[in-house]
């Protein structure tokens, strides 16, 4: 019984001590100047002013230029399976693969940057013909897109839609 009490008492005492330390931390930060640099100050205290950070203006500017991209791919899968008369048979199967991603319009004449993996996933050699691309705009309209350029190494793809005067985001210099 004594071992059980010791087994339960130490964690309870340690937890209680830790809770008291957490509750006293704001008071200690105010009254012990050297501790204030080590302890985080609460976001709001009675009588203090907290400056709010909002991304709403950035989101309002960027949202119209963000699109949804649906890619329907014809995929040829090769399987090796056992057979009754031969030891193994090589079998090909045509299948459809559907993937969904997002992109950003980068020019008013319809160029969109997205990710390479949206179209080709992990195996670019499995596709038998170019994917069917459907681009859905922020207002719900859907148009067909065409692949313009691919960069597998950097996971980038450039597609083009036939639509003018689109809202777009400009790419900035990373320096």
Q: Per the structure, how many domains does the chain have?
A: 2
Instruction: Flag whether 38 is in a domain.
Output: yes
The predicted structure's pLDDT at residue 130: 77
Which parts of the chain register pLDDT below 70? 1-2, 4-7, 28-29, 33-52, 86, 121-128
Residues 73, 126 within the same domain:
yes
Residues 30, 93 within the same domain:
no
Instruction: Flag whether 98 is in a domain.
Output: yes
User: What residues contact residue 74 under an 8 Å CB cut-off, 6+ apart?
Assistant: 94, 95, 96, 127, 128, 129, 131
The predicted structure's pLDDT at residue 113: 94
The predicted structure's pLDDT at residue 145: 94
Taking the complete model, does pTM exceed 0.85, yes or no? Answer: no
Residues 105, 149 within the same domain:
yes
Instruction: Flag whether 31 is in a domain.
Output: yes
The predicted structure's pLDDT at residue 174: 72
Residues 66, 121 within the same domain:
yes
Residues 137, 108 within the same domain:
yes
Tens digit of each residue's pLDDT (9 = 90 or more) over 93-143: 777 778 889 999 999 889 999 998 888 765 655 555 778 999 999 888 999
The predicted structure's pLDDT at residue 5: 60
Q: The domain containing residue 109 runs over which residues?
A: 59-161
Instruction: Flag whether 90 is in a domain.
Output: yes
The predicted structure's pLDDT at residue 136: 94
Residues 63, 149 within the same domain:
yes
Residues 63, 101 within the same domain:
yes
Residues 20, 102 within the same domain:
no
Residues 29, 97 within the same domain:
no
What is the rounded distance in angstroms from the CA atom of residue 104 to the CA atom of residue 118? 13
């Amino acid at each position: 019984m004594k071992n059980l009490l010791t087994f339960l008492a130490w964690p309870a005492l340690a937890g209680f001590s830790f809770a008291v330390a957490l509750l006293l931390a704001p008071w200690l930060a105010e009254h012990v100047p050297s501790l204030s640099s080590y302890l985080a100050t609460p976001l709001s205290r009675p009588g203090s002013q907290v400056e709010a950070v909002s991304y709403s203006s950035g989101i309002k500017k960027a949202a119209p230029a963000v699109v949804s991209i649906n890619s329907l791919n014809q995929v040829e899968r090769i399987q090796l399976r056992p057979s009754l008369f031969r030891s193994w048979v090589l079998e090909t199967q045509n299948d459809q693969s559907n993937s969904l991603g997002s992109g950003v319009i980068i020019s008013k004449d319809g160029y969109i940057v997205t990710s390479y993996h949206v179209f080709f996933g992990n195996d670019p050699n499995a596709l038998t013909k170019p994917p069917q691309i459907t681009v859905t705009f922020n207002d719900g309209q859907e148009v067909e897109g065409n692949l313009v350029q691919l960069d597998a190494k950097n996971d980038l793809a450039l597609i083009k839609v036939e639509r003018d005067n689109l809202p777009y985001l400009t790419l900035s210099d990373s320096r």
